């Protein structure tokens, strides 16, 4: 088929053609889709609306989003985003994750050990400065070092000048570089979290499904100098919520998308990266399940890790299904050839599948061939897949900081640059509990995974296991380490290289033993894959800008974005699903499943059923473009009022990592009315309701 015919063909995903009028895009707040919103919805996206959205939106630095909901530092997010903090505040005999928590007064709010909240204050385009540091005649290693150095320099100068957390963010895979400046809050306290059975109702069965019935919300409060933070920019809580077909906006921090990646890169993900990832996640999920089944306390300890792993497994499974769908790759092929055709006029006759790739596309294809040869080892050693252990992560940081901190900031590994050190140390020195039994189970599973992938005779496997089985080695490492003690971590970091070199801690010794090979693999990845890809994608971005301008949003980068769409249901298998569910539907779903886990509503709910208006909207869906990282994102109406809290996608939306579709794909949010109904009638949280509504 000729390219012209192919490009003109209608590509169908689930029955409806993708069009330029769709609601696709996770848009930069300094480059918003004003014209699209004006033309399609008659909505004027003003500077004041955007400023309030930026200053009221919150990033949970460990992963997730939220928003200020009052002028006194109150932050709303998801329960599953807050779950790690809730677990760390729990202890044997006081399970806040299972039983819920509410602080009726400020002095009852619980200080979280290691929650960092970021609020974006400024964005600056530093593309010219970054690109000027990389000279055309530089080899990949030189180019990578030059770019790393200039980014660290920009960040350090910004931090020194403003006192704000400063991150240089790569956009369009290297087409643009923006400096993001954030105000940080590290005194964060828990205000409210419902029972897990209410927040995560339906469990893994209903995860990435719809209809849904979850009160997946939690509230924190940000403090400064021991007092609630003054936050004049906040989202007013809507007492009515959205109606069908309403235009809504989502402000949040989507993690990673791959829509601008080349076809060769996506095929590599399909055939190599995702199968390996799923194998690893299934291995860890089985180990965590087994550990949790040993008893109630074991279950409590493993819950957060188990949820994360199970959620990731289901999400990556959906991504793989998307890349195994010929229609998805056909769309990517058409998009790629449409761009290539604008700059490759010398091939008018042959079909596009026979065309030679232009240099940047060929560079990326070549990088995948190189990556295939060492990706597994890189993931196991440098990314840490062989060492699924909080204590090992601590040991690696202690060991590497001894080597990195004496260097100039611009010469260090990126995670140890000056502008990131405060946040890193905040996490590293967290007093949160670490459970030795859980650490043994996790480390045993990941060490076994290492041996399964590389083989028992591999030098790295022999080095790591040290003549023992994975279980025996994990027992030895966890029993011998002192790194659960925060004072010991501080001693090693503050003592520098002398303290680390003298340490006999078995996890520190292991981290040092594998470090040379891990660094070698990292260097190879940076020079043979990351840098060539970055330069190639920068060239492709220039071509795309020339051809289409800024009509295509950049891929997600865990930075603040604006998405929009309409509130509406969809059809599956001939069944029309409404745009919202109700409280009554939750009780019906529970009864239909015999009230058994994970459909067991909390006793508070069963006892309080008669108090509730069962017709109250509970969860709702819209076409707005969201992804992982948008968990906890405020959902806003035209007036900028909060009408919902995003918490999930349906399974049809998992393909959105690669292509946008609104045929059946939806994001799912908790309705603002549902939150108020539950707080008033089930949780006796009158003061919190008054803070949200003023009444």
Q: What is the CATH number of the domain that holds 627?
A: 2.40.10.120
- Please indicate, yes or no, whether residues 175 and 190 belong to a single structural domain of this protein: no
- What are 666-694's pLDDT values in tens digits? 999 999 999 999 999 999 999 999 999 99
Confidence band, pLDDT 50/70/90 cuts, at residue 656 = very high
> How many beta carbons lie within 10 A of that of residue 11, not counting itself?
17
Asked if residue 458 and residue 379 are part of one domain, the reply reads yes
Q: Are residues 405 and 479 in the same domain?
A: yes
- Residue 175 sits in the same domain as residue 227: no
Mapping DSSP to helix (H, G, I), strand (E, B) and coil, where does residue 176 land? strand
Tell me: the pLDDT tens digits for 343-365?
765 544 455 555 567 899 999 99
Nearest CA-CA partner of 309 in 384, 204, 441, 439 = 204
Which of 32-36, 276-280, 348-352 has the lowest average pLDDT? 348-352
Contact between residue 114 and residue 426 where contact means Cβ atoms under 8 Å apart? yes
Whether residue 562 sits in one domain with residue 441: no
Prior bond of 627 cis (ω within 30°) = no
Inside any domain, residue 524: yes
User: Is 96 within a domain?
Assistant: yes
Q: Is the pLDDT of residue 17 over 80?
A: no
User: How do the residues of the chain divide into helix, strand and coil, expressed in percent and rounded to 5?
Assistant: 50, 15, 35
Choose the final residue of a domain: 184, 212, 227: 184
pLDDT at 1: 27
Q: What is the largest CA-CA distance in the chain?
A: 75
Print the domain residue range for 507: 357-551
Confidence at residue 340, expressed as pLDDT on a 0 to 100 scale: 84
Q: What is the pLDDT of residue 149?
A: 97
Residue 584 maps to a domain? yes
Same domain, 93 and 241: yes
What gap in Å lies between CA 463 and CA 539, rounded to an integer? 42
Residues 513 and 375 occupy one common structural domain? yes
Residues in the chain: 695
Residue 314 in any domain: the answer is no
Residues 145 and 244 in one domain: no
If asked whether residues 585 and 672 sit together in one domain, one would say yes
Specify the pLDDT at position 352.
56
Does 660 reside within a domain? Answer: yes
Going through 545-616 in order, the beta strands assigned E by DSSP cover 561-566, 570-572, 575-577, 580-582
Residue 61 and residue 116 in contact, taking contact as beta carbons nearer than 8 Å:
yes
pLDDT at 337 (0 to 100)? 87
Q: What is the mean pLDDT of residues 266-282?
A: 98
Neighbours of 529 (CB within 10 A): 20
Q: Decide if 435 is inside a domain.
A: yes
Which residues neighbour 631 within 8 Å (Cβ) at sequence distance 6 or greater?
Answer: 63, 64, 65, 77, 78, 80, 81, 252, 646, 647, 648
pLDDT of residue 138: 97
Tens digit of each residue's pLDDT (9 = 90 or more) over 247-264: 999 999 999 999 999 999
The full DSSP string for 217-236 is: -EEEEEEETTEEPP----PP
Comparing C-alpha atoms, which of 578, 552, 576, 581 is closest to residue 647?
A: 581
Query: What pLDDT is attached to residue 338?
Result: 85
Task: Looking at the structure, tell me whether residues 483 and 363 fall in a common domain.
Answer: yes
Q: What is the 3-state secondary structure (H, E, C) of 467-491?
A: CCCHHHHHHHHHHHCCCCCHHHHHH
Average pLDDT in the chain: 94
Model pLDDT for residues 419-474, shown as the tens digit of each residue: 999 999 999 999 999 999 999 999 999 999 999 999 999 999 999 999 999 999 99
Is 78 found in the same domain as 179? Answer: no
Residue that finishes a domain, picked among 492, 522, 551: 551
394 and 467 together in one domain = yes
CB 322 within 8 A of CB 267: no
User: Domain boundary at 165, 184, 203, which?
Assistant: 184
- Residue 414 in any domain: the answer is yes
In a domain, 142, yes or no: yes
Give the number of domains in the chain: 3
CA R_g for the chain: 25
Flag whether pLDDT at 488 surpasses 70.
yes
pTM: 0.95
């Amino acid at each position: 088929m000729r390219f012209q015919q192919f490009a003109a063909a209608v590509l169908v995903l689930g029955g409806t053609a993708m069009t330029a009028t769709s609601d696709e895009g996770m848009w930069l707040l300094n480059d918003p889709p004003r014209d699209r919103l004006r033309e399609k919805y008659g909505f004027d996206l003003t500077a004041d609306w955007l400023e309030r959205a930026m200053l009221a939106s919150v990033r949970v630095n460990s992963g997730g989003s939220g928003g200020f909901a009052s002028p006194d530092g109150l932050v709303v997010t998801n329960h599953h985003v807050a779950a790690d903090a809730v677990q760390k505040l729990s202890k044997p005999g006081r399970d806040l994750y299972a039983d819920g928590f509410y602080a009726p007064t400020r002095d009852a709010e619980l200080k979280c050990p290691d929650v960092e909240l970021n609020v974006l204050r400024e964005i600056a385009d530093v593309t010219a400065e970054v690109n000027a540091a990389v000279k055309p005649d530089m080899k990949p290693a030189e180019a990578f070092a030059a770019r790393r150095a200039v980014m660290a320099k920009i960040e350090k100068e910004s931090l020194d000048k403003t006192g704000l957390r400063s991150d240089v963010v790569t956009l369009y895979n290297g087409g643009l570089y923006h400096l993001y400046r954030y105000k940080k809050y590290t005194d964060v306290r828990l205000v409210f979290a419902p029972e897990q059975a209410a927040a995560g109702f339906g469990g893994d069965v209903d995860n990435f499904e719809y209809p849904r019935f979850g009160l997946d919300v939690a509230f924190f409060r940000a403090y400064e100098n021991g007092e609630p933070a003054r936050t004049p920019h906040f989202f007013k809580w809507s007492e009515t919520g959205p109606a069908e077909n309403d235009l809504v906006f989502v402000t949040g921090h989507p993690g990673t998308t791959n829509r601008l990646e080349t076809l060769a890169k996506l095929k590599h993900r399909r055939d190599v990266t995702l199968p390996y990832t799923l194998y690893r996640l299934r291995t860890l999920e089985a180990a965590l399940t087994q550990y949790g089944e040993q008893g109630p306390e074991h279950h409590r300890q493993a819950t957060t890790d188990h949820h994360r792993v199970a959620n990731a497994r289901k999400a990556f499974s959906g991504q793989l299904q998307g890349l195994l769908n010929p229609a998805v790759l056909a769309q990517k092929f058409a998009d790629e050839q449409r761009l290539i055709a604008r700059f490759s006029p010398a091939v008018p006759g042959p079909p596009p599948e026979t065309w030679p790739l232009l240099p940047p596309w060929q560079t990326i294809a070549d990088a995948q061939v190189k990556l295939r040869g060492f990706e597994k080892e890189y993931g196991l050693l440098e990314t840490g897949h062989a060492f699924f252990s909080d204590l090992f992560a601590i040991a690696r940081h202690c060991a590497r900081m001894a080597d990195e901190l004496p260097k100039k900031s611009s010469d260090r590994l990126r995670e140890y640059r000056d502008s990131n050190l405060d946040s890193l140390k905040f996490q590293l020195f967290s007093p949160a509990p670490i459970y030795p039994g859980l650490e043994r189970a996790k480390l045993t599973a990941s060490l076994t995974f290492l041996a399964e992938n590389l083989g028992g005779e591999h030098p790295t496997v022999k080095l790591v296991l040290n003549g023992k089985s994975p279980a025996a080695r994990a027992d030895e490492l966890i029993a011998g380490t002192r790194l659960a003690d925060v004072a010991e971590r501080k001693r090693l970091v503050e003592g520098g290289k002398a303290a680390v070199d003298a340490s006999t801690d078995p996890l520190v010794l292991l981290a040092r033993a594998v470090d040379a090979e891990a660094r070698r693999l990292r260097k190879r990845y940076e020079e043979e894959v990351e840098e060539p890809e970055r330069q190639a994608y920068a060239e492709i971005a220039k071509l795309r800008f020339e051809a289409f301008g800024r009509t295509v949003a950049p891929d997600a980068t865990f930075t603040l974005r604006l998405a929009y769409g309409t509130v509406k249901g969809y059809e599956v298998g001939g069944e029309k699903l409404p745009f919202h569910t109700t409280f009554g539907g939750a009780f019906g779903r529970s009864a239909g499943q015999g009230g058994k886990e994970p459909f067991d509503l909390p006793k508070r709910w069963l006892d309080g059923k008669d108090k509730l208006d069962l017709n109250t909207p509970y969860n709702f869906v819209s076409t707005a473009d969201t992804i992982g990282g948008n968990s906890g994102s405020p959902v806003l109406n035209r007036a900028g009022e909060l009408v919902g809290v995003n918490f999930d996608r349906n399974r049809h939306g998992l393909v959105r990592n690669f292509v946008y579709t609104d045929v059946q794909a939806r994001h799912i949010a908790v309705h603002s009315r549902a939150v108020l109904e539950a707080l008033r009638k089930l949780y006796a949280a009158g003061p919190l309701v008054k803070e949200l509504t003023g009444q």
